[in-house]
A and B are shown apart, each in its own frame.
Chain A
Amino acid sequence: MKNTIKHLYVGLIYLFLYAPLLILIAYSFNKSKYAIGWQGFSLEWYEKLISNQLILDAAMNSLIIAICSSLAATIIGTLAAVAFYRYRFTGRKALYTMVYSVMMSPDIVMGISLLMFFMFIGLKVGFLTLLLSHITFCLPFVVVTVYARISGFDPNITDAAKDLGATEFETFRHIILPMIMPAVLAGWLLSFTLSLDDVIVSFFVTGPSFEILPLKIYSMVRLGVKPEINALSTLLFCFTLVTVTISQLLIKEKKR
Chain B
Amino acid sequence: MNKRFNFKNISISIISLWIIILIFIPNLLILAASFLERDETDIIKFIPTLENYLSLFEPVYFEIFVKSITYAFVTTALCLVAAYPFAFIISKLKPAARKACLLFVIIPFWTSSLIRTYALIVILKSNGILNSFLMFTGIINEPLEIMYTDFAVYIGLVYTLLPFMIMPLYASLEKLDKRLIEAAYDLGASAVQVFTRIIIPITMPGIIAGCIMVFLPALGLFYIPDLLGGAKSILIGNFIKNQFLTAGNWPFGSAASVFLTLLLTTFMILYFKAMKRFNASLMD
- What is the CB-to-nearest-CB distance from A244 to chain B, in angstroms, rounded to a whole number? 5
A168 touches B101 (CB 8 A): no
A244 touches B106 (CB 8 A): yes
B257 touches A112 (CB 8 A): yes
Alpha-carbon distance A6/B97, docked complex (angstroms)? 14
- What is the CB-to-nearest-CB distance from B161 to chain A, in angstroms, rounded to a whole number? 11
Identify which of A10, A91, A99 gathers the most chain B CB atoms within 10 Å of its CB: A10
Q: Which residues of B contact A114 (CB under 8 A)?
A: 22, 26
A54 in the interface (beta carbon within 8 A): no
Complex partner residue of B122 from A24, A76, A84, CB under 8 angstroms: A24
A136 touches B86 (CB 8 A): no
B118 touches A95 (CB 8 A): no
B175 in the interface (beta carbon within 8 A): no
- What is the CB-to-nearest-CB distance from B46 to chain A, in angstroms, rounded to a whole number? 13
Alpha-carbon distance A6/B217, docked complex (angstroms)? 29
B122 touches A116 (CB 8 A): no
Q: What sequence of 0s and 1s flags, for each residue 13-37 of chain B, a beta carbon within 8 Å of any chain A beta carbon?
A: 0111011001111110110010000
With CB as the reference atom, state the residue of chain A lying closest to B236. A108
Alpha-carbon distance A110/B23, docked complex (angstroms)? 8
B22 touches A21 (CB 8 A): no
B18 touches A136 (CB 8 A): yes
B123 in the interface (beta carbon within 8 A): yes
A113 touches B30 (CB 8 A): yes
A10 touches B86 (CB 8 A): yes
Identify which of B16, B103, B121 gathers the most chain A CB atoms within 10 Å of its CB: B16
Alpha-carbon distance A106/B116, docked complex (angstroms)? 20
- What is the CB-to-nearest-CB distance from B87 to chain A, in angstroms, rounded to a whole number? 10
- What is the CB-to-nearest-CB distance from B11 to chain A, in angstroms, rounded to a whole number? 4
Alpha-carbon distance A13/B158, docked complex (angstroms)? 11
* Residues A17 and B8 in contact in the complex (CB < 8 Å), given A83-B15, A98-B23, A108-B222: no
* Residues A117 and B29 in contact in the complex (CB < 8 Å), given A132-B22, A240-B107: yes
Q: Which residues of A contact B113 (CB under 8 A)?
A: 197, 199
A167 in the interface (beta carbon within 8 A): yes
Q: How large is the interface on B (under 10, 10 to 19, 20 to 34, 35 or more residues)?
A: 35 or more
Q: What sequence of 0s and 1s flags, for each residue 207-220 of chain B, a beta carbon within 8 Å of any chain A beta carbon?
A: 00000000011011
A221 touches B111 (CB 8 A): no
A10 touches B15 (CB 8 A): no
A21 touches B30 (CB 8 A): no
Q: Which residues of B contact A35 (CB under 8 A)?
A: 122, 127-129
Q: Which residues of B contact A34 (CB under 8 A)?
A: 127
Alpha-carbon distance A24/B112, docked complex (angstroms)? 13
B8 touches A83 (CB 8 A): yes
A53 in the interface (beta carbon within 8 A): no
With CB as the reference atom, state the residue of chain A lying closest to B22. A136
Q: Which residues of A contact B254 (CB under 8 A)?
A: 112, 116
Alpha-carbon distance A247/B7, docked complex (angstroms)? 30
A116 touches B18 (CB 8 A): no
Which A97-123 residues have C-beta < 8 A from chain B?
A: 98-99, 102, 104-110, 112-117, 119-120
B179 in the interface (beta carbon within 8 A): no
Alpha-carbon distance A244/B111, docked complex (angstroms)? 10
A225 touches B162 (CB 8 A): no
A225 touches B15 (CB 8 A): no
Q: Which residues of A contact B253 (CB under 8 A)?
A: 112
Alpha-carbon distance A139/B21, docked complex (angstroms)? 14
* Residues A115 and B244 in contact in the complex (CB < 8 Å), given A9-B85, A197-B113, A248-B103: yes
Identify which of B23, B89, B221 gathers the most chain A CB atoms within 10 Å of its CB: B23
Given contacts A221-B118, A244-B103, 5 further A-B contacts (CB under 8 A): A17-B162, A80-B15, A99-B19, A106-B264, A109-B27
23 contacts between A and B (CB under 8 A): A18-B108, A20-B116, A20-B119, A24-B115, A76-B15, A83-B8, A86-B8, A98-B23, A106-B261, A108-B260, A109-B220, A116-B26, A117-B29, A167-B1, A169-B6, A200-B220, A204-B244, A222-B227, A225-B121, A225-B125, A233-B119, A236-B111, A240-B107
Binding site for B on A (CB under 8 A): 6, 9-10, 13-14, 16-21, 23-24, 27, 34-37, 76, 79-80, 82-84, 86-87, 89, 91, 95, 98-99, 102, 104-110, 112-117, 119-120, 132-133, 135-136, 139, 167-169, 172, 193, 196-197, 199-200, 203-204, 214, 217-218, 221-222, 225, 229-230, 233, 236-237, 240-241, 243-244, 248
Question: 3 closest pairs, A vs B, by CB?
Answer: A20-B119, A106-B220, A113-B26
